[in-house]
Amino acid sequence: MLACAQPSAGTNSVAAAVGSTRPTVIKRRELFRAHGLAGLEDEPRPGRPETIDDVAIIAATLESPPASRHLTGPPPAG
């Protein structure tokens, strides 16, 4: 999206290059002009704050399952 800072970069070509839309590129350009790099940070989202801890999820997926793990349902075919 930093290509938006280049005056010669066309809005449509930047949108295509970063897989975005023309309105998003225009909005990001305006935010960058007004606030610099700080303007490109994500804005707070409306609604309830996120309660998922990404680090805890990643750590849990890297751990081996417990030896006493019991699966529900029929055993796998094969």
pLDDT digits 0-9 by tens, 4-59: 657 777 888 888 888 889 999 889 888 888 998 888 888 787 888 878 888 888 98
Tell me if 36 is assigned to some domain.
yes
Say if CB 3 and CB 24 are below 8 A apart: no
Tell me if 49 is assigned to some domain.
no
- What total of structural domains would you count in the chain? 1
Tell me if 4 is assigned to some domain.
yes
Tell me if 54 is assigned to some domain.
no
Tell me if 71 is assigned to some domain.
no
Tell me if 74 is assigned to some domain.
no
Tell me if 12 is assigned to some domain.
yes
Tell me if 5 is assigned to some domain.
yes
Domain holding 30, by residue range, is 1-42
Look at residues 16, 45, 42, 44 and name the one whose alpha carbon lies nearest to residue 28.
42
Give the pLDDT score at 3.
Answer: 60
End-to-end CA distance of the chain: 49
Q: What is the pTM of this model?
A: 0.50
